Amino acid sequence: MRRREALAAAGLAAGVALLNEAVPAEKNAAANVADKASAIRITKLTARWVNPNVFIKIDTNHGVSGWGDIKAVDPKVAKVLVESLFELLNGENPTRIEHLWQKLFRAHRNIRGGAFMVHTLAAIDMALWDITGKLYGVPVYRLLGGPVRDKIRVYHTPKAIKIPPPKVFEHSSGPMDVALVVNAIKAAREKVGPDGAVMFDAHCALPPATLIQVAAAIQPYDVLFIEEPAVPGNIEVFKRLKQHIKIPLASGERDRTIFGMIAYLQERCLDILQPDCCHTGGISQMRKIATLAETYQVPLAPHCTASNLGIAASLHAIAAVPLFLIHEFYPDNQGFNPKNIARVDWKVDKDGYVALPPGPGLGVEIDEQRLEEESAKPQSYKWPGRVLPDGSVSDY
């Protein structure tokens, strides 16, 4: 060993010894983290269905547990699927988050990338991040490179409103249909003022020709974006709309993982991506989608209709994302937060921002007794859908 290398090694050893001496062993992260991370193992997964969510808990041999939320698929099916996937998690190190994501995603070639697999995987992913944050005693966003902002802009607030479709649109529309949207957008602009944000959610429900007419008519009201301009699956429709509409277009809540987003960026037909942390594969995929979008200078405006677990996961992810516009936020909607099982103290300030989520982990308190009681009650699921006045089936 060269003299310089020997001196460097001696200095490092002395520094470690000094740190170990100065800090009690039980509080010395440098001395404890490596052992915990290498020895920790997944021992149990519990799934409980409380309409409309499936809450999952992953336990470890170190007494650290993590929580996740499956939503927007049939919960009775999702519960069985996540319990089956435990076969691939049992005995694994939960801090190997990316490895386990890949293990689950690629586990079955015929269901890879489908909604049930990816939504279920999202809940597992957020639970693993929750465990890892708790293990190291930090909020999840600290594990993602640290926060790039001090607070997160959200809607709906007095200064940011999204308008849904005011009616069920048929396969073609007339002047009165266009007028309904225009009047709703005009009223929203007057409500938030010139410095507020107004968004229009087309919800994949307006025929392309109608949306082109609507977009031209609402242009004077400075709409931040039009959400879900078309049903995912045919990129040519999005290209057509982008060619004719001057208002920024946003979508992505029904497109899963980086593989579902890339075509929008390559074809330059969306100005804003709207991944949902609970739909797209969890925090791990939100990070990758954000990086992919950054290369095209496209910001994220995450879709988020989740319980407080899903909201927290999304906020942690977006805290570390450089290109960000605004975040969907429904903390008081009991349809998304059943029975107040997942508890946080969300506060929106006067300017429409929430503080960074607390930690360690996701920073969500779960009332396990209430969860068990509610899940023991009979649960049911009704398939959604929409039928037009003439009896034909429509998108919604």
**Backbone φ, ψ for residue 139 (5° rounding):** -60, 150
| Three-state secondary-structure class, residue 305 | coil
Question: 113: Cβ–Cβ under 8 A, 6 or more apart, which residues?
Answer: 105, 256, 257, 259, 260
CB count within 10 Å of CB 340 equals: 12
CA distance 232 to 168: 19
Closest by Cα among 29, 26, 19 to 11: 19
244 is catalytic: no
| Beta carbons within 8 Å of 335's beta carbon, 6+ residues apart | 52
Of 223, 300, 231, 287, residue with least CA distance to 258: 287
Round to whole Å and give the CA distance between 356 and 312: 9
Among candidate residues 62, 99, 119, 303, the one labeled active-site is 303
Would you call 316 a catalytic residue per the annotation? no
Q: Active site residue: 62, 108, 171, 203, which one?
A: 203
For the sheet with 327-328, list strands across it. 327-328, 151-155, 353-355
Q: Can you spell out the DSSP letters for 155-215? A: ESBTTEEEEPPSS---SS--HHHHHHHHHHHHHHHHHH-TTSEEEEE-TT-S-HHHHHHHH
Catalytic machinery residues: 203, 303
